[in-house]
Amino acid sequence: MGSPLIHAQAPAAPAPTQANVAYGPHPKQVLDFWKTPKAGKGPVPLMFFVHGGGWMNGDKANPDFLAKCLESGISVVSINYRLIPDAIAEKVSPPVKACLDDSARALQFVRTKAAEWGLDKNRIAGCGGSAGGFNVLWLALHDDRAEPGSTDPVARESTRLTCVMAFVPQTSLDPKQMRDWIANNDYGHHAFTLPSYQDFLDKRESLMPYIKEFSPYELVSNGDPPLYLFYDSVPALGQPHKDPPHSANFGAGLVEKLKTVGVPYEFNYTGAKDVKHPDIFGFLVEQLKP
């Protein structure tokens, strides 16, 4: 008999410094915090991670780049947030509002912990994939939701980010725009509890106030922070895609607006040339330098 196979095991992810820290009353409004062991005397930067899952599922466990961040002197927060089924149960309308509001509230809560956790609240990078990438793009591009005069110390904190790394994110919730970009798109009507994409198109005009409030594309303005968009496909605006919700056309459509306004960005996709940071993590390290 030959010797038994020995399977190499990947190192276990480090346990959070603090786990399931509540930033709100709902069971999903919790986050994990990892403090970098490389923390020096001064405050350190933070990666703020939002998981994907189409706003329907997912969990804060195993955020991307966790080990690399901790080794590089960057602390990490990864959040759970109310998903669309939770929002429907709570009668939040439209339900996607709960997913976005929770991301903002969690970020504001983290800033109230800056002194205790040794964080530089002016060096926070957003990171997420798919719907999580949508959420961090929304935070980065939305006007600051801080309420300086609020009696709530959390609400007084900023919701802005230093930069964003987003992986295969959706960048719009406009049904017509999404179909113009991706001919076979059938994603997004669930954000408004609509039964079909045709209902989404039919109700577009009445939904425009929400679309303008929630779509990253609609929120782009001069002075927004640098964005890194990564897709594992080739952009071809107007063409169908094998995986519409994760099509690089979402990136190409947003990039057209970023160019017009002058927001700094890197657009990395299959076959992309002249990307400044082909090593994606290098972008985050550069942006979070003191």
DSSP secondary structure, 77-108, as one string: EEE----HHHHHHTT-SSTHHHHHHHHHHHHH
On whether the pTM is more than 0.75, the answer is yes
Residues near 205 by beta carbon (within 8 Å), at least 6 away in sequence: none
User: Which pLDDT belongs to residue 7?
Assistant: 46
Whether 15 and 46 have beta carbons less than 8 Å apart is answered as no
User: Which pLDDT belongs to residue 11?
Assistant: 65
Pairwise CA distance, residues 60 & 37, whole Å: 21
User: Which pLDDT belongs to residue 5?
Assistant: 46
Structure tokens at 25: 């009353």
Give the containing element (helix H, strand E) for 280.
Answer: helix 280-287
Whether 45 and 125 have beta carbons less than 8 Å apart is answered as yes
Pairwise CA distance, residues 77 & 99, whole Å: 17
User: Which pLDDT belongs to residue 169?
Assistant: 98
- Residue 128 CA to its chain's centroid (Å): 4
Q: Can you name the residues that pair with 78 across neighbouring β-strands?
A: 32, 49
| DSSP strand pairing (119-129 vs 163-167) | parallel
| Helices and strands (H and E) in the chain: how many | 11, 8
User: Which pLDDT belongs to residue 9?
Assistant: 55
Whether 157 and 108 have beta carbons less than 8 Å apart is answered as yes
Pairwise CA distance, residues 20 & 60, whole Å: 10
Rounded mean pLDDT for each run of 10 residues along the chain, 290 residues in total: 47 90 98 93 96 98 97 98 98 98 98 98 98 98 98 98 98 98 98 98 98 98 98 98 98 98 98 94 96
User: Which pLDDT belongs to residue 13?
Assistant: 82
